[in-house]
Amino acid sequence: MSIRVGESAEAATFPKAAKKLLQNTQLRRNVRRATDTIRAKRAKVVEEMPDWQALRTAAQQIKKRTLRDLDTYLVEFEKNCTAAGGKVHWARDADEANAIIIGIIQSHNQKEVIKVKTMTSDETQLNKALEAVGISPWETDLADLIIQLGNDKPSHIVVPALHKNKSEIRQIFLDTMGLKELGHTPEDLAGAARNYLRERFLRVKVGFSGANFAIAETGSVCVVESEGNGRMCVTLPDVLITMFGVEKLIPSFDDLEVFLQLLPRSATGERMNPYNSIWTGVTPGDGPKEFHVILLDNGRTKVLADEESRETLHCIRCAACLNACPVYRQTGGHAYGSIYSGPIGAILTPQLQGMEHSTSLPYASSLCGACYEVCPVKINIPEILIHLRRKIVESGGAALTERMGMAVAGYTLADSGRLATVQKLVQIGRQPLDAIGLPGWSAARDLPEIPTQTFREWWKARGAK
């Protein structure tokens, strides 16, 4: 089986990657600035919604219901999409998905495809697979275009080029678009992308998209976007291929009213993103003549099987948890070694790719809970992080020093006499410990101050008064 989440299986551990990235002050400034902006915008538009918590609860319940009967909803979606003229394919893993897509494009003798931002295609490394058989994928989302032209890797789920500032983006465009001149404002850069892609939108016969939501009741697909590149990709080509993870289903059309309120406010801090496209199969005289859907597993059923962490699959990819995370805000997304970064990446990547590949990710968190607080579908990320840490320890994946330390702590805390003795020893032994430090642990942390009196001593003294 070839389950794949981008290049995460070969990625460096989080501490190793983070250590290197933290030295890049420009990147840290860019990430800090962008996440500060988006957090302030989000807070403002969430604040004005008195029913925000009720929306979150409804979203959580809808997602829970979807997963409870996912098999039924998948079959219902397939039936309705097919009845409307779509063709539904199923892909167990990354290679199977890529092969289906290549097969469709080749059956039309096409050599190019225009793509709207699709996380699942980053999972399967579709672009690499397409290029290997001589098909050119054109990324059309502005940030994805910056990544593609700059030969870079995405660092954020919603804004993959968040780590680049405008002058760096300008330089990438100058180097790769064959422009004689280019202004310095964001408007100039957006205009350059418009000109660069317009001819491709009109020329290329195959479009590729993901989906934010797929509606079982109607067989419809919904793409949420801002620039209009999504509308171009799902409207203008003759053939449209849409791939999404099996968990993207929602039961009914009415459920959209919940998610279309939560997603834009959480993702980009807007009351509504400029464009939502919803379509059902094929419409004669309007848009593609042929429509393919690929339902992708690629590890999702493994996540579903773990009752304690299956709500990871509730995620609607808004990235609010990244922007809120004190760890992400320092390191940026590349440290996570996966297309899914930040808190959601720290729980999603190990579960999809396999724990053995990313044992450091569930530890890339201070468990402060900011991610849970902003999550529009109420995924309890801190609890899942702890659950995954437990799994790592149980499978013998934790460091020997940690396991030994925990064993000693367990022995000590089980008996009050032992605890008192150890506390005395620590008070005496603190100074030499400061000098040596704890290997690994104290490299990035200070040892806490040891009080001169223990709580029990204080309590006793207090009672004597």
Q: Indicate whether 194 belongs to the interface with other proteins (CB under 8 A).
A: yes
From 17, 18, 55, 398, residue interacting with other proteins (rule: CB under 8 A):
55
Q: For the segment 66-95, give every residue that binds other proteins (CB under 8 A).
A: 67-71, 74-75, 84, 89-92
Stretch that binds other proteins, among 9-17, 51-59, 418-426, 456-464 (CB under 8 A): 51-59
Least CB distance to other proteins at residue 319 (A):
11
Q: For the segment 153-182, give every residue that binds other proteins (CB under 8 A).
A: 159, 161-162, 165-166, 169
| CA–CA gap between residue 343 and residue 381 (Å, rounded) | 7
From 23, 134, 181, 285, residue interacting with other proteins (rule: CB under 8 A):
285
* Residue (274 or 369) nearer to other proteins, CB: 274
* Residue (134 or 285) nearer to other proteins, CB: 285
* Residue (58 or 243) nearer to other proteins, CB: 58
Q: For the segment 101-130, give every residue that binds other proteins (CB under 8 A).
A: none
Contacts 24+ apart (CB under 8 A), 64-70: 64/311, 64/314, 65/251, 66/247, 66/249, 66/250, 66/251, 67/247, 67/304, 67/310, 67/313, 67/314, 70/246, 70/247, 70/249, 70/304
Least CB distance to other proteins at residue 411 (A):
37
| CA–CA gap between residue 170 and residue 113 (Å, rounded) | 25
Q: Indicate whether 250 belongs to the interface with other proteins (CB under 8 A).
A: no
Q: For the segment 208-237, give every residue that binds other proteins (CB under 8 A).
A: 218-220, 226-229, 231-232, 235-236
Q: Indicate whether 249 belongs to the interface with other proteins (CB under 8 A).
A: no
What does the buried/exposed string (b/e) look like for 344-380 if buried means 16 or more CB atoms within 10 Å of the residue's CB? Answer: bbbbbbbbbbebebbbbbbbbbeeeebbbebbbbbbb
Stretch that binds other proteins, among 142-150, 331-339, 391-399, 435-443 (CB under 8 A): 142-150
From 24, 273, 427, 454, residue interacting with other proteins (rule: CB under 8 A):
273
Q: For the segment 301-330, give every residue that binds other proteins (CB under 8 A).
A: 301-302, 304-305, 307, 310
Least CB distance to other proteins at residue 114 (A):
11
| CA–CA gap between residue 211 and residue 322 (Å, rounded) | 21
